[in-house]
Amino acid sequence: MAASLLASSLSLSRSPPFPLLLLLKKPYLSLSLFPISSPSSSSNPSLLRLHTHRHSLPLALRPRFKPYSSFTSAHDSPERASLGGEDVLVLGIETSCDDTAAAVVRGNGEILSQVVSSQADLLARYGGVAPKMAEEAHALVIDKVVQQALDNANLTEKELSAVAVTIGPGLSLCLRVGVSKARRIAGMFRLPIVGVHHMEAHALVARLVQRDLQFPFLGLLISGGHNLLILAQSLGNYVQLGTTIDDAIGEAYDKTARWLGLDMRKGGGPALEELAREGDANSIKFSIPMRQHKDCNFSYAGLKTQVRMAIESRNLCVDDVPLSAATFDDRKLRADIAASFQRVAVLHLEERCQRAIEWALKIEPSIKCLVVSGGVASNQYVRCRLNHIVEENGLKLVCPPPSLCTDNGVMIAWTGIEHFRLGRYDPPPPPDEAEDAQLDLRPRWPLGEEYSEGRSVARSLKKARIHPSLTSIIRGSAMQQK
């Protein structure tokens, strides 16, 4: 990798850069059906992780292509209602950040294959997601990952019903790799294509895992680039109760892990969670962010600064001494910082969730569940603390297994199925689409509409909204049909 390229593209933050390219052809989305199968997981994030369920089903049901403007509901046509049946087979492709993932899922929720190729080694080496390098890494493995997903599912492209792919939010260079691949397959095999919102997919995968999870529900989506509290009212219809005004919690975990000299090859979050188990969580007094703001927004930049200062003021020198070589006292100090950071980072989540539950119950008294998903939701401490809050409020916590919390192709395929079922998809692209065709990529794409009573006064919330939210597109489309 050329050093100059590296220098120009290296970014220490996981938040998406300004979009390089974007052009709206027309709004597109799609979806389909319900639940289950028992997903498996792997503990080695740096390898291709293969999860296979063999299948032996007849040829997939092929939908008739409907232009977006003619969407109606799934219930108005028996033909379309059947689009979510178990004969439906959707390939999901995910390349929005640093994992290249693909999976095949059946309309009834059965996971036929799941493949993830992680860039953890690159992340460990360079300290963050560098868009250009991440793009190259995706491009290098995308064909292999998709082929592996098809092989593991014992399928060829011809047998698919549709291809679902993440179109945003994320790094546009990375999104482009997945979207191009999806369009090549869809064009060649005349398959409809479903553009998926990455954060919606984190939320909806809970409905694959938990068959009876109905709308409305409350969702906390916590990842490397996002911190969202949403009220999910129906498919594609979300109220954003809170978001981060600066960094997401995963970014704070990753940075703290790096500053503590942890082995980043297994991911900053998991490494920090492990070390925190050895530490005293009350030993260092970090303050809880945004307590004076009685809303549901988040902030992690200040906590990061507090951690940095704690490390510097204790003359903890981690640069030359990896954790494995640290003295007993040094290791204890790092563990205390890790545990104290984690306690406060999660307390912030707890406080915001408590308020969000109160708000959500006022808006939708029938909610029964809090869905917690996204990479950070694979953390056991996070799950345990949030479970208390949820139970105290008479709700239920729904948390996908770790392999479905971190980025994966299953959640994209599943969200594709959910929308496909409602007839929300695009027709196949032309088989001879040019390599450099302008694509509908949405690097900054809000999920829901902001809850008006929840606006923060503390905002430096980045307002550069490139696209209308998913919810406003879906509502607009529904209005057009009336």
Binding site for ligand KG4 (CB under 6 A): 97, 223-225, 250, 253-254, 267-270, 273, 374-376, 378-379, 406-407
Which residues face 168 on adjacent strands?
197
Return d(Cα 82, Cα 233) in angstroms, integer: 23
**At its nearest, how many Å lie between ligand KG4 and the CB of residue 408?**
8
Those residues whose C-beta lies under 8 Å from the C-beta of residue 332, and which sit 6 or more positions away, are: 278, 279
Contact status: 94 vs Zn ion (CB under 5 A): no
DSSP string, 329-352: HHHHHHHHHHHHHHHHHHHHHHHH
| Residue 454 Cβ vs ligand KG4, minimum distance, rounded to whole Å | 23
Q: Find out whether 235 and 208 touch, Cβ atoms under 8 Å.
A: no
Collapsed DSSP state (helix, strand, coil) of residue 276? helix
For 96, 211, 299, 330, 341, the CA distances from 273, given in Å and listed in that order, are 25, 30, 20, 17, 10
Collapsing DSSP to helix, strand or coil, 117 comes out as strand
Residue 15's binding partner among Zn ion, ligand KG4, none (Cβ under 5 to 8 angstroms by kind) is none
Using only C-alpha atoms, the chain has a radius of gyration, in whole angstroms, of 22
Task: Give yes or no for a contact between 138 and 177, defined as CB atoms under 8 angstroms apart.
Answer: yes
d(CA 178, CA 176): 6
Smallest separation, CB 283 to ligand KG4 (Å):
20
- Strand order from edge to edge, sheet including 162-168: 49-52, 111-118, 99-106, 89-94, 162-168, 193-197
Cβ neighbour number for residue 362 with a 10 Å cutoff: 9
**Three-class SS of residue 91?**
strand
The least distance separating ligand KG4 from the CB of residue 156, rounded to whole angstroms, comes to: 29
Q: How far is the CB of 198 from Zn ion (least distance, A)?
A: 6
Residue 69: its H or E element: none
Return the residue of 161, 166, 180, 223 that touches Zn ion, per CB under 5 A: 223
Considering CB distances under 5 to 8 angstroms, the limit depending on partner class, which of Zn ion, ligand KG4, none binds residue 406? ligand KG4
| From the list Zn ion, ligand KG4, none, partner contacted by residue 376 (C-beta under 5 to 8 A by kind) | ligand KG4
Name the binder of 253 from Zn ion, ligand KG4, none, CB < 5-8 A by kind.
Answer: ligand KG4
400 binds, among Zn ion, ligand KG4, none (CB under 5 to 8 A by kind): none
Element counts in the chain: helices (H) and strands (E): 14, 12
The two three-digit tokens of residue 400, written as one number: 């996908």
**What is the nearest approach in angstroms of ligand KG4 to the Cβ of residue 269?**
2
Stretch that binds Zn ion, among 8-16, 399-407, 439-447, 450-458 (CB under 5 A): 399-407
CB 202 within 8 A of CB 221: yes
Task: For residues 454 and 358, give the distance between their C-alpha atoms in angstroms, rounded to a whole number.
Answer: 12
- 161/469 with CB nearer Zn ion: 469
Longest dimension (CA), the chain: 70
Q: Among residues 383 and 396, whose Cβ is nearest to ligand KG4?
A: 383
DSSP letter (8 states) at residue 285? -
- In this structure, what token pair is assigned to residue 466? 């490139």
Is the CB of 132 or the CB of 258 nearer to ligand KG4? 258
Residue 92 touches which member of ligand KG4, Zn ion, none, C-beta under 5-8 Å by kind: none
Listed in sequence order, the residues at least 6 apart from 300 whose beta carbon sits closer than 8 Å to its beta carbon are 227, 244, 246, 247, 248, 249, 251, 252, 289, 345, 348
CB of residue 376 vs ligand KG4: minimum separation in angstroms? 4
Q: Which of 201, 182, 205 is nearest to 193 (CA)?
A: 182
Closer CB to Zn ion, 111 or 199, in the complex: 199
254: partner contacted, choices ligand KG4, Zn ion, none (Cβ within 5-8 A by kind) = ligand KG4
The region of 76-84, 404-412, 440-448, 458-466 touching Zn ion under the rule CB under 5 A is 404-412
Choose between 15 and 223: whose C-beta lies nearer to Zn ion.
223
Q: Is 407 in the site for Zn ion (CB under 5 A)?
A: yes
Shortest Å distance, C-beta 211 to ligand KG4: 23
Residue 89 CB, shortest distance to ligand KG4, in Å, is 25
Nearer to Zn ion, 223 or 243 (CB): 223
Q: Which is nearer to ligand KG4, 250 or 454 (CB)?
A: 250
**Residue 42 Cβ, how far from Zn ion at the closest point, in Å?**
17
Instruction: Look up residue 172 and give its two tokens.
Output: 């546009």
Residue with Cβ nearer ligand KG4 (171 or 389) = 171
Comparing CB distances to ligand KG4, the nearer of 225 and 428 is 225
Of 405 and 417, which CB lies nearer to ligand KG4 in the complex structure? 405
Residue 270, contacted partner among Zn ion, ligand KG4, none, CB below 5-8 A by kind: ligand KG4
9 binds, among ligand KG4, Zn ion, none (CB under 5 to 8 A by kind): none
Q: Using CB atoms, what's the residue nearest to Zn ion?
A: 223
Are 260 and 323 in contact by the 8 Å Cβ rule? The answer is yes
Binding site residues, Zn ion, CB under 5 A = 223, 407
